[in-house]
Amino acid sequence: MLKRSFLCVYPESFSLSYRLDKVKEIIVTDTINLSKRLATVATFLPSGAFFADIGSDHAYLPCYVCKHDKQARAIAGEVNEGPYNSACETVKAYELNNQIEVRLGDGLHVIDNEQIKQVVIAGMGGSLIAKILEEGRQYLSNVERIIAQPNIGEINVRKWFLENRFLLKEETIVEENGHLYEILVADKGENDLAYTDQELNKQLFFGPLLLQEKSSAFIKKWTLQKRKQQQIIAQIKLATVQDNEKIKQLEREFQWIEEVLLNEKRDC
């Protein structure tokens, strides 16, 4: 593989930790080795995408997409200075400044007046993703697709989509380095037919499309989660002050998990 070295010198205005190691070398390869998780996220972007990657960290995702698609353009948003600087370096190293703009700011507030068509928010908890979407709703008027990859608390993202007219189009689970990551893709639209009134809570919990498909990754995830849930319930019951509502909710979820796994065995 062809490798190129890129020498990066940091200006005085950068933070102390950055000035301490003023000269760093970034290895620039012709292909960007993206994690399987982010590479799967990338497959849900159309060609010629104009997207915002919120919480971009090193900006690997927008660099990967823009390197493979010269028509694609992106805003890489970061709230923290360290990752923001890393993102700037990656974009510069891959000579993608004409396609990617790195911006420092909270959530969707990095979007200016651009007609951003897709938003990616990956690698955070579901409640933070939902909070970012809620607090930046005004920036979503031109957005056609949101791709979310919550590490936990996926239900918060599904609820936000449902309440804000983003229809769940795809759900998938990616297994990488012993972790199981859910990726949720929603397009702007009206009635979400993925949900039914009778099963709504269960569908929000498991994901309506994942529940329907019951892939091997899904079964693996919920088999592991069943054990965890059992331990959590046992621990909560040991507390001196009992949270009965919480216990009831966890037990109801545990029952759903048991049912889903039991039905799976019957289907085999």
CB of 55 to ligand SAM, least distance (A): 3
Q: How far apart are CA 251 and CA 27, in angstroms?
A: 50
Options 83, 136, 150, 208; binder of ligand SAM; rule CB under 6 A: 83
- Backbone phi, psi, residue 127, to 5°: -70, -35
Question: Interacting stretch for ligand SAM, rule CB under 6 A, among 11-19, 119-127, 167-175, 188-196?
Answer: 119-127
User: Is the dihedral angle over the CA atoms 60, 64, 66, 67 positive or is it negative?
Assistant: positive
Q: Which is nearer to ligand SAM, 77 or 208 (CB)?
A: 77
Contact between 132 and ligand SAM per CB under 6 A: yes
Q: How far apart are CA 161 and CA 65, in angstroms?
A: 25
Is 97 buried (19+), middle (13-18) or exposed (0-12) by CB count in 10 A?
Answer: exposed
Q: How far apart are CA 163 and CA 145, in angstroms?
A: 15
Options 72, 124, 130, 174; binder of ligand SAM; rule CB under 6 A: 124
| Local structure of 28: helix, strand or coil | strand
Q: Which is nearer to ligand SAM, 164 or 201 (CB)?
A: 164
CB of 28 to ligand SAM, least distance (A): 19
Q: Rule CB under 6 A: which of 202-261 touch ligand SAM?
A: none
CB of 183 to ligand SAM, least distance (A): 10
Question: Could you tell me whether strands 145-150 and 118-124 are parallel, antiparallel, or unpaired per DSSP bridges?
Answer: parallel
Contact between 101 and ligand SAM per CB under 6 A: no
Q: What DSSP state is assigned to residue 73?
A: E
Q: How far apart are CA 150 and CA 126, in angstroms?
A: 5
Contact between 122 and ligand SAM per CB under 6 A: yes
Options 81, 95, 106, 259; binder of ligand SAM; rule CB under 6 A: 106
Q: Rule CB under 6 A: which of 21-80 touch ligand SAM?
A: 38, 54-57, 77-80
Contacts with ligand SAM by CB under 6 A: the residue count is 16
Contact between 123 and ligand SAM per CB under 6 A: yes
Amino acid at 31: T
CB of 251 to ligand SAM, least distance (A): 32
Contact between 136 and ligand SAM per CB under 6 A: no
Is 28 buried (19+), middle (13-18) or exposed (0-12) by CB count in 10 A?
Answer: middle
Binding interface with ligand SAM (CB under 6 A):
38, 54-57, 77-80, 83, 106-107, 122-124, 132
